[in-house]
Chains A and B, each alone.
Chain A
Amino acid sequence: GAGVSQSPSNKVTEKGKDVELRCDPISGHTALYWYRQSLGQGLEFLIYFQGNSAPDKSGLPSDRFSAERTGGSVSTLTIQRTQQEDSAVYLCASSPMGGRGDYGYTFGSGTRLTVV
């Protein structure tokens, strides 16, 4: 597609439920990233996929969070047993070949997750 697509755009869930957030990167982009922005906070790195390499999971805040990327394209971020502190905007981004420092990467519009 023309840009990075994320779905759903908004998600309200009850505490304790599992949620799945989807990201469709730009076609041909080999690198995919997940970030989140909590209220009043900056962008927090979660996980990074680069081609067939093992993902960099160093930003995942707990073992309730996981992500996969199927076929080197679409990615799903799963949060199990959601907690209120998981409420945030979850942003996905993609770039060609792991990104280049001079232009960074392209973000989607995000999924706003609210845990009630």
Chain B
Amino acid sequence: DQQVKQNSPSLSVQEGRISILNCDYTNSMFDYFLWYKKYPAEGPTFLISISSIKDKNEDGRFTVFLNKSAKHLSLHIVPSQPGDSAVYFCAAINFYNQGGKLIFGQGTELSVKP
């Protein structure tokens, strides 16, 4: 049962334009949603998160939107830069019921072209 899904394995965007990465989930009990960024041969690094009681969180060029009714979240990167090229993982946590276990999506590989 894939509780967190990223249906686009890859995305290519021109430098300076907006990148939109999407994520869907099935478990309405998730407390927080997080985005991680992963470069080859490195571990994932935390990027941004959003609480289930909010619908938007912004940090510099990165904004995460949460639509609870649709069980959908998205990560917007504006403007996109070549250094943003990486695999992005969406993750969710049901902290109070399942502790710190993060459930990850399959990842989306973002390529930002100069």
Contact = CB atoms under 8 A, between A and B. Distances in A.
B89 A43 contact: yes
Nearest to A9: B41
Contacts of A35: 104
B51 A50 contact: no
B4 to A, nearest CB: 8
A101 B104 CA distance: 14
A109 B42 CA distance: 5
Contacts, number: 81
Which residue of A44, A99, A101, A110 has the most chain B CB atoms within 10 A of its CB atom? Answer: A101
Interface string A79-116: 00000000000010101001111111111111000000
A98 B46 contact: no
A80 B29 CA distance: 35
Contacts of A41: 106
A40 B8 CA distance: 12
A31 to B, nearest CB: 5
B93 A107 contact: no
A95 B32 CA distance: 16
Contacts of B31: 101
A105 B51 contact: no
B46 A104 contact: yes
Label chain A's interface by main secondary structure.
strand
Interface of A: 4, 31, 33, 35, 41-45, 48, 50, 56, 91, 93, 95, 98-110
B99 A50 contact: yes
Contacts of B68: none
Contact of A50 (B91, B100, B102): B100
A25 B60 CA distance: 29
A56 B99 contact: yes
A42 B89 contact: yes
Nearest to A110: B43
B11 to A, nearest CB: 16
Given A99-B95, A103-B49, A104-B34, A48 B100 contact: yes
Contacts of A50: 99-100
B36 A104 contact: yes
